[in-house]
Amino acid sequence: MTTPWTLADLEAAIRAGWSAETCEPSDISRIPWTAENPAWGHCDITALVVQDLVGGDLMLGEVFHEGRQEGYHWWNLMPGGIRIDLTREQFRRGETVTPGRIVKRPAGRLRRRWEEYQLLRQRVIDKLGPLPGAMVTRDGRRLAYTDFGGPGAPLLALHGHFDEGAGAFERLARELGPAWRVIALDQRGHGRSDRAAEYTRDGYVADAEALLEQLGLGPAVVLGHSLGGVNAYQLAARRPDLVRAVVVEDIGAVVDGDLSYTREWPRRAETRAGFLAGVGSAAPYLERSLQEYPDGWGTVFEVEDMVESQRRLNGDHWDDWLEVRQPTLLVRGDRSGVLSAEHAREMTVRRAGVRLVELPAGHAVRVGDPEGFFAAVRGFLARV
């Protein structure tokens, strides 16, 4: 799991990451970067890293010195008007900064300063470990994700119902690193991400698309389990420019499930163990998805959201599956109650470029046979 950290930890890690290599080149051309003024030339990428991790708005103000504008200054504005400005100290010649305005972060890879931004992010990860991040969607929802870091190629991991990204894919990141940089999304209504007004196919795909565009990491390998598996191949079909290859864990091109049994779970329990005891065989799927509320322990998600999400997941998705052109690994548990052997084989017959691996496991293959699952994924990725 990610290691808890404070804003003081974050500030210290960012400050330790500043150097001449990450300084704004135009600022260095005017005043050299020195360790005595390490914040110099770092406001832009510092504000981006802070926003990645704690959200909020980007603020942009104009910098004046002796009556002339000398550039711009970036900082962060949090809800409630809280200002976070880690680089204000750089101004030591009597500069003034205008009050500033909120600036929308552009989607996708930065046109400038991309390499310096990625270097600073990686240095922060090296200090703090896997970083929880957040972005805001066009409709104002918070989407949380975990960046496990590393120099490798990007891999977006999408969990199934009830789960969350960091815990679901922590071992995946260890097994694949450093060759692959795993980014695990908490999908809408799960983990640390906000609930959504709807749980449609388009909505889930748009969330994954938005994250890849904001982080500028496409084309990426996209790996998904169950719900996440359908999201993965639908993203590949609809936005092939963002997807390099696909790994689907135990879900088909036709889905017919029912999560209405979750309505029978207790809403709250006095203890965590008591809640898990009350959900019976579903307990292993909820280990990472419980929290304590003022009135007791319960799920981090809303049960009705999961019921509706499964309802909208059900259906015939052959058109999307057949539209995918990227190399695809389909992993099935041989005891799966979700993906039959016949359906899995049909998925390989009707579309080129699909490799099927069947392992001794149930629906959660990477839990039932982790060694086999990670070996299959590593072997597949070695060829893409």
Q: Which residue has the higher pLDDT, 4 or 186?
A: 186
| Confidence band for 3, pLDDT divided at 50, 70 and 90 | low
Considering the domain architecture, whether residues 75 and 148 belong to the same structural domain is answered as no
Residue 125 covered by a domain: no
Q: What is the DSSP string of 172-238?
A: HHHHHTTTEEEEEE--TTSTTSPP-S---HHHHHHHHHHHHHHHT--SEEEEEETHHHHHHHHHHHH
Provide the mean pLDDT of the chain.
Answer: 94
Considering the domain architecture, whether residues 200 and 324 belong to the same structural domain is answered as yes
Considering the domain architecture, whether residues 335 and 374 belong to the same structural domain is answered as yes
- State CA 89 to chain mean position distance: 32
* CA 107 – CA 100 distance, rounded (Å): 21
**CB-hemisphere CA count at 13 Å for 326?**
29
Residue 190 covered by a domain: yes
What's the CATH code of the domain at 209? 3.40.50.1820
Residue 122 covered by a domain: no
What's the pLDDT score for residue 136?
Answer: 82
The phi, psi pair for 188, rounded to 5°, reads: -45, 130
The secondary element (H helix, E strand) that includes residue 82 is strand 82-84
* CA 212 – CA 243 distance, rounded (Å): 9
| Confidence band for 129, pLDDT divided at 50, 70 and 90 | confident
Residue 43 covered by a domain: yes
Range of the domain at 19: 7-103
- Local structure of 247: helix, strand or coil: strand
Considering the domain architecture, whether residues 163 and 278 belong to the same structural domain is answered as yes
Considering the domain architecture, whether residues 99 and 145 belong to the same structural domain is answered as no
Q: Which amino acid is at 328?
A: T
pLDDT tens column, 188-233: 999 999 999 999 999 999 999 999 998 888 899 999 999 999 999 9
Q: Are strands 254-255 and 180-185 parallel, antiparallel or unpaired?
A: unpaired
Considering the domain architecture, whether residues 221 and 270 belong to the same structural domain is answered as yes
| Confidence band for 292, pLDDT divided at 50, 70 and 90 | very high
Based on the structure, what is the number of domains in the chain? 2
Q: What is the mean pLDDT of residues 105-121?
A: 87
Considering the domain architecture, whether residues 28 and 70 belong to the same structural domain is answered as yes
Q: What is the mean pLDDT of residues 22-37?
A: 93
Residue 110 covered by a domain: no
Considering the domain architecture, whether residues 49 and 194 belong to the same structural domain is answered as no
- State CA 40 to chain mean position distance: 30
Residue 40 covered by a domain: yes
The phi, psi pair for 182, rounded to 5°, reads: -90, 130
Q: What is the mean pLDDT of residues 142-163?
A: 94
Quick check: 313 and 189 in contact, CB under 8 A? no
- Local structure of 361: helix, strand or coil: coil
Considering the domain architecture, whether residues 304 and 360 belong to the same structural domain is answered as yes
pTM score: 0.86
Query: In 251-381, at which residue ranges do the beta strands (DSSP E only) sit?
Result: 254-255, 290-293, 296-299, 315-316, 328-333, 354-359
Q: Which residue in this structure is represented by tokens 């099935």?
A: 332
Considering the domain architecture, whether residues 95 and 139 belong to the same structural domain is answered as no
Q: For residues 292-306, b (16+ Cβ closer than 10 Å) or e, as one string?
A: eeeeebbbbbebebb
pLDDT tens column, 42-65: 999 999 999 988 888 999 999 999
Considering the domain architecture, whether residues 167 and 74 belong to the same structural domain is answered as no
Q: Is the pLDDT of residue 107 over 90?
A: no
Residue 327 covered by a domain: yes
Residue 275 covered by a domain: yes
Considering the domain architecture, whether residues 344 and 222 belong to the same structural domain is answered as yes
